[in-house]
């Protein structure tokens, strides 16, 4: 018997196609999964090949690259690294280092961000946050070391993300050392700008989304160029149209208000592009001559209605195309991983095999792989059932691939059977209270409760608290809450406790009913039963009015139970939930952008907004122009700490009154500050919001496609599963060719394919 090779070089026996293929023997001294069949070395080698197949299957499930070391020790490290515990530690470390921005100087630990009322924040001692940060950086250093070892030196040097990861860590450690040497008093911490990168590089979906955004930028830039030309052209026209020298002083008013000079005219029209200052910018000229409205209407029509919406359409079209490429890459990764597992398992020789030319995977070997693989129980059960349905016949490549299509299906949860009652009366009651019409009755009662609350809110809106009489509302709340409790008990009787809890809508109703019951009992115990002249008092933590208001708010919240009963509303709600579940990559990129701009804003504008009276630049509120930063009392919108910076950026992203921020920071810090806010508007409101809208349209159109609502026949296998969002575009994706998969397997740096 040939001497075994090192475990770092396990080999596939030969290429096998789905229905045959070219054959060829491996070199005589080459140890493969099919060359050793007996003895301790053979058992160890076959166990190694089983583990390789397990790792390949897990890579396929998670859309991971298979180009990593495949020896026994490396696979143990690899599976440990991607275990839930290890990944949770890494994710918590990323969260912790990002959250340090709220604690470290400048600290966000104040009750308000308003510069007029803000107290001195708590500042951590030097070394506290730096110590936590050092632990996080050590975890990241271990992370990049493990990744570098697993992919090997050659792959590490080719991977730009890993190289950037290493460089970011080195820069962070150097900056951390400089910070301690300055006793935490350094003016700039470069490593704070690098922290979001740790979040970005840890998510493959965020990387793909970022790549799609980068690919979409050229097309977006073409529309941006048109917008720039449009803006500059109308700026020059506005400067000429509202030029100084007219006889009428009102023309000078328009000129001095919005077209004083070229930068201010450009800013005014840029804000008008978002309609934030409409019609303010038009009123001075329009008040004098109605013909001047044509200038502003034409500008808004071309810029806001045509070019901005054209930008949305281009983003939708281009991003969808590049999203297809990303999904195609994910599909190719899954097919490559499952094909690699097929090659490993099919190359394992069996002593009882009828012929050496048989091509396929022994079902028993695949069952061993599935037993070891980290896979959801429902998906694993579905695959095992399909394997058993093949009997003892070998699984061909196509059949092997189709087995793992079950991973893309979401299992529809089956509800427990209802209790069996012997009495005909109880059976009739069970049918009655378990019928959907009983739910409709509950929705009607909830609607009546909501209407009663609205009526009393309208009646009491003009009354002071001491003049309100909560007697009728208190009685009605008691009656409705008793009905909700009775409904809960009757549903438990009809469905059983497990059956009741198997419906999320029932869990939602039940929890709110219990909370309402506890609050109502507390109210009655504290204030007694409702009676005429029931006046608000304060005997405990909450007054009677506070308790009644809290109960009413929960009742309003409970009215959401009506959503699943209205099909169009349910589709919209499911679309929103689907977006929440599948927008983590977009949300992560938004977090990165917010974090970077907030840190830059703190370094640029910290302390420039000062309380009234502390600077000659800050006019008193009574003398401030109408609509200005001071008159609107926007004092809490500043960059004095991280939390305040995030809220300020959010307010600018919404673009309502964002010209107020441009004007204030231009006066307090200089005209260059407008560059920062315009860049933020471009990144957040123009690029990210349009990308979000593109994905929203895709998800919404998919949900409203009639083919997505075709119900399978009851009792069929299709009735047990529903397709996940990952299959939204599967029908238009191209399956990778077999030759392509085999060629990519041959290029595996730690795996050889013998022919």
732 pLDDT above the threshold of 70: no
Closest by Cα among 100, 53, 99 to 79: 53
DSSP class of residue 633? T
CA dihedral sign, ordered 28, 34, 39, 44: positive
Is the bond preceding residue 279 a cis peptide, omega within 30 degrees?
yes
How far apart (Å, rounded) are the C-alpha atoms in residues 514 and 481? 9
Q: Which two tokens stand for residue 179?
A: 């910070």
CB 118 within 8 A of CB 167: no
Higher pLDDT, 697 or 513: 513
pLDDT at residue 717, rounded to an integer: 42
CB 99 within 8 A of CB 87: no
Cα–Cα separations (whole angstroms), residue 122 to 111, 131, 233: 11, 18, 51
How far apart (Å, rounded) are the C-alpha atoms in residues 314 and 320? 10
How far apart (Å, rounded) are the C-alpha atoms in residues 251 and 244? 8
User: 92-135 pLDDT, tens per residue?
Assistant: 999 999 999 999 988 888 888 888 888 888 888 888 999 999 99
Q: For the whole model, what pTM was predicted? A: 0.78
CB 70 within 8 A of CB 384: no
- 3-class SS of residue 182: coil
pLDDT at residue 354, rounded to an integer: 47
194 pLDDT above the threshold of 90: yes
Q: Which two tokens stand for residue 360?
A: 């396929």
Contacts of 298 (CB under 8 A, 6+ apart): none
pLDDT at residue 413, rounded to an integer: 62
CA dihedral sign, ordered 718, 724, 725, 730: negative
pLDDT at residue 543, rounded to an integer: 58
CB 418 within 8 A of CB 496: yes
- 3-class SS of residue 239: helix
Q: What is the CA radius of gyration of the chain?
A: 33
Q: What are phi and psi of 435, to 5 degrees?
A: -80, 155
72 pLDDT above the threshold of 50: yes
Higher pLDDT, 377 or 617: 377
Contacts of 350 (CB under 8 A, 6+ apart): 362
CA dihedral sign, ordered 59, 64, 67, 68: negative
267 pLDDT above the threshold of 80: yes
What's the burial of 423, exposed, middle or buried (CB within 10 Å: 0-12/13-18/19+)?
Answer: exposed
Start-to-end Cα distance in the chain: 21
673 pLDDT above the threshold of 60: yes
Contacts of 430 (CB under 8 A, 6+ apart): 418, 419, 421, 493, 494
Higher pLDDT, 307 or 618: 307
176 pLDDT above the threshold of 80: yes
User: 620-656 pLDDT, tens per residue?
Assistant: 665 677 778 888 888 999 999 999 999 999 999 988 8
Cα–Cα separations (whole angstroms), residue 33 to 21, 333, 360, 583, 713: 18, 23, 14, 42, 44
Residue 633 falls in which region: left (phi positive, over 0), alpha (psi -120 to 50) or beta: left
88 pLDDT above the threshold of 90: yes
**Per-residue pLDDT band at 452 (split at 50, 70, 90):** confident
406 pLDDT above the threshold of 80: no
How far apart (Å, rounded) are the C-alpha atoms in residues 69 and 154? 12
How far apart (Å, rounded) are the C-alpha atoms in residues 246 and 261? 16
Closest by Cα among 159, 129, 132, 137 to 147: 159
Q: Which two tokens stand for residue 712?
A: 């399978």
pLDDT at residue 568, rounded to an integer: 65
User: 485-538 pLDDT, tens per residue?
Assistant: 898 899 888 888 888 888 877 888 888 888 878 877 877 777 677 666 555 454
DSSP assignment string, 558-592: HGGGGGGGSHHHHHHHHHHHHHHHH-HHHHHHHHH
CB 405 within 8 A of CB 382: no
Q: Which two tokens stand for residue 381?
A: 């059960």
574 pLDDT above the threshold of 70: no
Helix (H) or strand (E) holding 480: helix 471-495
703 pLDDT above the threshold of 50: yes
Tell me which residue has tokens 């690294």: 81
How far apart (Å, rounded) are the C-alpha atoms in residues 339 and 18? 10
Q: Which two tokens stand for residue 136?
A: 């996080």
Q: What are phi and psi of 753, to 5 degrees?
A: -115, 110
What's the burial of 81, exposed, middle or buried (CB within 10 Å: 0-12/13-18/19+)?
Answer: middle
Q: What counts of helices (H) and strands (E) characterise the chain?
A: 28, 4
DSSP class of residue 686? I
How far apart (Å, rounded) are the C-alpha atoms in residues 237 and 222? 23
Q: Could you tell me whether strands 11-12 and 752-753 are parallel, antiparallel, or unpaired per DSSP bridges?
A: parallel
Mean pLDDT value of segment 722-729: 49
Helix (H) or strand (E) holding 11: strand 11-12
**Per-residue pLDDT band at 619 (split at 50, 70, 90):** low
Closest by Cα among 646, 669, 651 to 599: 646
265-269, 292-296, 604-608, 744-748: range with lowest mean pLDDT: 744-748
Q: Which two tokens stand for residue 543?
A: 């007054």
pLDDT at residue 63, rounded to an integer: 85
């Amino acid at each position: 018997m040939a001497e075994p090779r090192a475990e770092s070089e396990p080999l596939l026996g030969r290429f096998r196609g789905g229905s045959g293929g070219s054959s060829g023997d491996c070199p005589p001294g080459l140890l493969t999964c099919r060359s050793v069949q007996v003895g301790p070395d053979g058992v160890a080698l076959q166990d190694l090949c089983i583990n390789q197949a397990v790792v390949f299957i897990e890579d396929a499930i998670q859309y991971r690259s298979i180009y990593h070391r495949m020896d026994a020790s490396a696979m143990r490290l690899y599976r440990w690294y991607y275990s839930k515990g290890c990944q949770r530690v890494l994710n918590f470390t990323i969260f912790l280092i990002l959250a340090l921005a709220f604690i470290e100087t400048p600290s966000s630990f104040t009750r308000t961000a308003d510069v007029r009322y803000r107290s001195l924040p708590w500042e951590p001692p030097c070394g506290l946050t730096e110590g936590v940060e050092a632990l996080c950086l050590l975890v990241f250093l271990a992370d990049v070391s493990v990744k570098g070892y697993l992919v090997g030196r050659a792959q590490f040097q080719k991977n730009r993300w890993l190289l950037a990861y290493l460089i970011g860590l080195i820069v962070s450690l150097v900056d951390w050392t400089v910070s301690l040497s300055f006793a935490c008093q350094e003016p700039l911490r470069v490593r704070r700008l690098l922290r979001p990168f740790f979040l970005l590089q840890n998510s493959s979906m965020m990387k793909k989304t970022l790549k799609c955004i980068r690919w979409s930028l050229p097309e977006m830039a073409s529309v941006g160029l048109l917008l720039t030309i449009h803006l500059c052209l109308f700026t020059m026209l506005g400067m000429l149209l509202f030029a100084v020298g007219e006889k009428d002083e009102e023309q000078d008013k328009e000129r001095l208000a919005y077209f004083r000079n070229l930068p201010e005219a450009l800013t005014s029209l840029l804000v008008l592009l978002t309609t934030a200052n409409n019609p303010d910018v038009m009123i001075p000229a329009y008040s004098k001559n109605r013909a001047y409205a044509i200038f502003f209407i034409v500008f808004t029509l071309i810029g806001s209605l045509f070019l901005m919406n054209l930008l949305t359409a281009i983003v939708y079209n281009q991003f969808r195309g590049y999203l297809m490429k990303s999904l195609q890459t994910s599909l190719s990764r899954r097919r490559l991983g499952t094909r690699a597992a097929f090659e490993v398992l099919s190359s394992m020789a069996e002593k009882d095999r009828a012929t050496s030319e048989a091509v396929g995977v022994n079902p028993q070997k695949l069952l061993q792989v599935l037993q070891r693989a980290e896979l959801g129980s429902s998906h694993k059960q579905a695959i095992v059932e399909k394997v058993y349905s093949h009997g003892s016949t070998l699984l061909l490549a196509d059949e092997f691939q189709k087995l793992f299509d079950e991973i893309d299906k979401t299992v529809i949860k089956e509800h427990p059977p209802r209790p069996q009652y012997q009495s005909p009366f109880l059976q009739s009651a069970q049918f009655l209270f378990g019928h959907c019409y009983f739910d409709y009755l509950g929705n009607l009662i909830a609607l009546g409760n909501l209407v009663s609350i609205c009526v009393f809110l309208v009646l009491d809106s003009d009354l002071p608290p001491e003049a309100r009489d909560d007697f009728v509302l208190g009685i009605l709340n008691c009656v409705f809450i008793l009905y909700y409790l009775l409904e809960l008990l009757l549903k438990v009787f009809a469905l059983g406790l497990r059956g009741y809890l198997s419906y999320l809508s029932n869990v939602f109703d039940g929890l709110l009913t219990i909370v309402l019951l506890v609050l109502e009992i507390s109210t009655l115990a504290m204030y007694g039963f409702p009676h005429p002249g029931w006046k608000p008092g304060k005997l405990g933590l909450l007054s009677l009015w506070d308790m009644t208001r809290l109960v009413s708010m929960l009742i309003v919240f409970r009215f959401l139970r009506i959503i699943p009963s209205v099909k169009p509303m349910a589709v919209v709600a499911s679309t929103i939930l689907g977006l929440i579940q599948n927008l983590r990559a977009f949300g992560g990129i938004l977090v990165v952008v917010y974090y970077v701009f907030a840190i830059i804003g703190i370094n640029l504008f910290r302390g420039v907004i000062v309380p009234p009276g502390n600077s000659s630049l800050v006019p008193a509120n009574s003398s401030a122009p109408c609509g200005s930063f001071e008159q609107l009392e926007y004092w809490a919108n500043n960059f004095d700490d991280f939390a305040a910076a995030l809220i300020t950026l959010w307010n600018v992203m919404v673009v309502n009154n964002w010209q107020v921020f441009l004007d204030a920071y231009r006066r307090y810090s200089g005209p260059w500050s407008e560059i920062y806010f315009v860049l933020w508007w471009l990144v957040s409101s123009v690029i990210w919001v349009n990308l979000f809208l593109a994905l929203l349209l895709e998800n919404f159109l998919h949900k409203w496609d009639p083919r997505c609502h075709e119900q399978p026949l009851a009792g069929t296998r299709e009735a047990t599963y529903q397709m996940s969002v990952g299959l939204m575009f599967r029908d238009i994706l191209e399956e990778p060719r077999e030759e392509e998969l085999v060629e990519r397997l041959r290029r595996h740096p730690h795996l050889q394919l013998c022919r």
